[in-house]
Amino acid sequence: MTTDIKKVFIVDDDESVCRSIKCLLTTFGFTVETFLSGKDFFNAVAETDPGCLVLDINMPGLDGWEVQRRLAIAGSKRQFIIISADKDDGFRERALEIGAIGFLQKPFNDQQLVNLINQSFEIGENSMKNNFLMVFIAAFLMTTVLGCNMFKGAGKDMENAGQSIQKTADR
């Protein structure tokens, strides 16, 4: 596990839920931002801001499903967890189908939430390392196997880029 700051975004229209989850997660060393609506979240958080999203389903305005739909359309790679007080048994399956790390029924076990968030950051770190590996292999193939001259002299640039990406992945 890395030692860098891990940010969690909580989107829930119930202020007491936001407060309690934030209190819990800060005791585990996470940096937490809370939003009372999907609109507030979109207005404050850039698509490129890294972090894990904890998303309530039933909210006025943009509900959780619509927030996630918009993120998916935008190409978001941010890991997310769906939470809901609703007793609908189909929510869990739907959440997992759209790519959620997990679904938690309120009230939920604190440790389950922390475990899912930690899992989301591990997935994100592995994804970044895999992306670096794919770029490196493509560059290797183009220069070595295909003999492309356009990368001649770019070895040092690739090495520096690789070190930069690795430092980011190790955080």
- Pair 38, 63: CB distance under 8 Å: yes
Q: Are residues 34 and 81 in the same domain?
A: yes
Q: Please give the pLDDT value at position 6.
A: 92
Q: Please give the pLDDT value at position 167.
A: 54
- Pair 1, 118: CB distance under 8 Å: yes
* % the chain with pLDDT above 70: 70
Q: What is the mean pLDDT of residues 84-93?
A: 85
Q: Are residues 68 and 48 in the same domain?
A: yes
Q: Are residues 75 and 130 in the same domain?
A: no
Flag whether 29 is in a domain: yes
Q: Please give the pLDDT value at position 151.
A: 47
Q: What is the mean pLDDT of residues 87-112?
A: 90
Q: Are residues 76 and 17 in the same domain?
A: yes
Q: Please give the pLDDT value at position 136.
A: 47
The residues facing 13 across adjacent strands are: none
Q: How many domains does the chain have?
A: 2
Q: Please give the pLDDT value at position 60.
A: 93
Q: State the average pLDDT for the chain.
A: 80
Q: Is the pLDDT of residue 159 over 60?
A: no
The CA distance from 68 to 82, in Å, is 10
DSSP 170: H
The CA distance from 171 to 150, in Å, is 32
Q: Are residues 101 and 132 in the same domain?
A: no
Closest by CA position to 56, among listed 23, 111, 16: 16
Q: Are residues 116 and 130 in the same domain?
A: no
Residue with the bigger pLDDT between 68 and 4: it is: 68
pLDDT bracket for residue 87 (50, 70, 90) = confident
Q: Are residues 147 and 109 in the same domain?
A: no
- Pair 110, 103: CB distance under 8 Å: no
Q: Are residues 148 and 132 in the same domain?
A: yes
Q: Please give the pLDDT value at position 130.
A: 42
Q: Please give the pLDDT value at position 170.
A: 53
Integer angstrom CA distances of residue 30 from 7, 10, 22, 75, 151: 6, 12, 9, 25, 41
pTM beyond 0.75: the answer is no
Task: Give the list of residues 6+ apart from residue 5 with CB closer than 8 angstroms, or none.
Answer: 31
The CA distance from 58 to 145, in Å, is 54
Q: Are residues 30 and 81 in the same domain?
A: yes
Residue with the bigger pLDDT between 124 and 99: it is: 99
Flag whether 81 is in a domain: yes
Q: Are residues 112 and 143 in the same domain?
A: no
- Residues of the domain holding 135: 126-170
User: Hey, what amino acid is at 77?
Assistant: K
Q: What is the mean pLDDT of residues 83-105?
A: 90
Query: Which tokens is 12 given?
Result: 């829930």
Q: Is the pLDDT of residue 162 over 50?
A: yes
Q: Is the pLDDT of residue 32 over 50?
A: yes
Q: Please give the pLDDT value at position 17.
A: 96
